[in-house]
Amino acid sequence: MSRRSFTAALAALAVPGASAAPRPEPGAAGAPGRGGAASGEMRGMWVATVTNRDWPSRPGLGADRQRAELTAHLDTAVRARLNTVILQVRPTADALWPSPYEPWSQYLTGTQGAHPGWDPLGTAVEEAHARGLHLHAWFNPYRVALHADPTRLAASH
């Protein structure tokens, strides 16, 4: 490689969004989402579930209301021209998907271990991809609870 080629390649890497490789057009196969995102560029938002910070707005909502709130977050990402949503799916050693190892999250129903009547993570994946968004699952691997009372945990915890 010549010094000129090396310098041009190095300069392309130093410029945000620049690359020597051609980028797919938005909406084309292999394109990373809507809004003209460059390959490898992540423009995202977090959706926190612990303490019902972002979603669902409160525990105990019905499945239809939870689903509507979740899709509203995804629609917000699209309107903001983001390409990635990072969804917290294991806030306190509990799960927002059917898991043989973790109880259902208390932030869905108000009671840890109670089935919410739907698969929030499965739905999030489907709905995000339908909108051209990447979905990343965010989990806390060690936090067991935000309290020190083991009697408040599900028996399967």
Domain contains 121: yes
At 100 the pLDDT is: 94
At 130 the pLDDT is: 98
User: Is 138:95 a contact under the CB 8 Å cutoff?
Assistant: no
- Structural domain that includes position 58: 41-146
Confidence grade of residue 149 (pLDDT, cut at 50, 70, 90):
confident
- Could you give the percent of the chain with pLDDT greater than 70? 75
Whole-number average pLDDT of the chain: 81
95 CB-side CA count, 13 A? 14
Number of domains forming the structure of the chain? 1
DSSP notation for 59-74: TT--HHHHHHHHHHHH
CATH of the domain at 112: 3.30.750
Domain contains 114: yes
Domain contains 84: yes
At 21 the pLDDT is: 41
Domain contains 135: yes
Q: Which candidate, 14, 15, 31, 12, places its Cα nearest to that of 23?
A: 31
User: Is 109:59 a contact under the CB 8 Å cutoff?
Assistant: yes
Domain contains 139: yes
Domain contains 109: yes
Domain contains 26: no
* Three-state secondary structure of 92-135: CCCECCCCCCCCECHHHHCCCCCCCCCCHHHHHHHHHHHCCCEE
At 39 the pLDDT is: 62
pTM of the model: 0.71
pLDDT for 62-94, tens place per residue?
A: 999 999 999 999 999 999 999 999 999 999 889
Residues 86-115, buried b or exposed e (16+ Cβ, 10 A)?
Answer: bbbbbbbbbbbbeeeebbbbbbbbeebbbe
pLDDT for 89-132, tens place per residue?
A: 999 889 999 999 999 999 999 999 999 999 999 999 999 999 99
Domain contains 152: no
